[in-house]
Amino acid sequence: MRPNDRHYLPSHEWIKITGDTALIGITDFAVDELSSGNEGDLVYCDLPEVGRTLEDGETFGEIESVKAVADLNTPLAGEVVEINPAIEDHLEILSEDPWDRGWLIKIKLATKDTSKLLDAEGYEALLASQN
């Protein structure tokens, strides 16, 4: 079971809310799909500038492996207040610890309405149905 302290998008991003802000990252499943299990295959992550305002579901960046590329979408609207400085040079963090050290951006939430998002159970069910 994946962490139930956060919410998920079907496109494999997670969001963890703490007060007025939230951390956003991608799930272990996404990392695995992109890198075919080979952490060295993740090669590039394009993250937004601090200060950018994101709409619900907006694409804020991209992550690339040797042979694939995926958009990064925000589960909730908000303003980017921080990006994880360690990621750019150490993409292996995403394989090692996608849930904590592997967060990508921090946003100041414009809304806390999580009703359209999946919880951990819902996300697990989605993965099960796709396999």
Partner 1 sequence: MPFIQNTDADRAAMLAAVGVKTLEDLFEGIPAELRHKGPLPIDAGLSEDELWSELQELASWNSTTTAGCFLGAGMYRHWWPRVVDALQGRQEFVTAYTPYQPEASQGTLTAFFEFQTMVAALTGMEVANASMYDGSSAAAEAVVMAANLTRGRDKVVVSRGVHPHTRRTITTYLEWTGLEVVEAPLGADGRTELGGLLDDKTCALVVQSPNTLGVIEDGAAQAAAAKQAGAISVACVYPIALGLLESPGAQGFDVAVGDGQSLGVPTAFGGPSFGLFATRLANVRRMPGRIVGQTVDGQGRRGFALTFQTREQHIRRAKATSNICTNNALIALRGAIYMAAAGPAGLREVAEHCLAKTQYAARELEALPGFSLRYGAGASFNEFVLDCPVPAAQVNRAVDAAGMIGGFEIGRWYPELGPNALLLAFTELTTRREIDALVRTLAPLAAAATVA
Partner 2 sequence: MNKDLLLYEKSQPGRRTLRLGRLDVPAADLSALPAGALRRTPPDLPELGELELVRHYVRLSKKNVSIADSFYPLGSCTMKYNPVLNEAATAIPGFNAIHPLQDSGRVQGALAVMKRVADALAAVTGLPGVTLHPAAGAQGELTALLVAHRHFVETGQKQRKMVLIPDSAHGTNPASASIAGLQAVEVASGPDGLVDLDDLAAKLGEDTAVFMITNPSTLGLFETKIAKISEMVHAAGGLVYMDGANLNAILGVARPADFGVDMMHINLHKTFSTPHGGGGPGAGPICVTQELERYLPSPRVVEEEGGLRLDYDTPYSIGMLRGWAGNFGVLLRAYCYIRRLGAEGLLRVAQNAVLNANYLRVKLRGAFHVPYDRMCMHEFVCNTKNQREQGIHAVDVAKRLIDLGHHPMTIYFPLVVSEAMMIEPTETEAKETLDAFVADMLLIAEEAKHEPEKLHAAPVTTPVGRLDEGRAVKDPVLCYTCSH
- Residues at the contact surface with partner 1, assessed by CB under 8 A: 43-44, 64-69
Binding of partner 2 at residue 41 (CB under 8 A)? yes
Give the number of C-alpha atoms closer than 13 A to the C-alpha of residue 106, restricted to the C-beta side: 11
| Residue 106 beta carbon to partner 2: minimum distance, rounded to whole angstroms | 25
Taking CB under 8 A as the binding criterion, the range among 10-18, 35-43, 93-101, 110-118 that sits at the site for partner 2 is: 35-43
Strands (E) across the chain are located at 7-8, 13-18, 21-26, 42-46, 53-54, 59-65, 69-73, 78-83, 105-109
Ramachandran class of 57: left when φ > 0, alpha when ψ lies in -120 to 50, beta otherwise: left
Binding of partner 2 at residue 86 (CB under 8 A)? no
What are the two backbone dihedrals, phi and then psi, of residue 59, each rounded to the nearest 5 degrees?
Answer: -80, 120
Q: Nearer Cβ to partner 2, position 24 or 30? A: 30
**Which does residue 38 bind out of partner 1, partner 2, none, counting CB within 5 to 8 angstroms by kind?**
partner 2
Q: Pick from 13, 16, 65, 75: which binds partner 2 (CB under 8 A)?
A: 65
Residues forming contacts to partner 2 in the complex (CB under 8 A) are: 36, 38, 40-44, 64-67
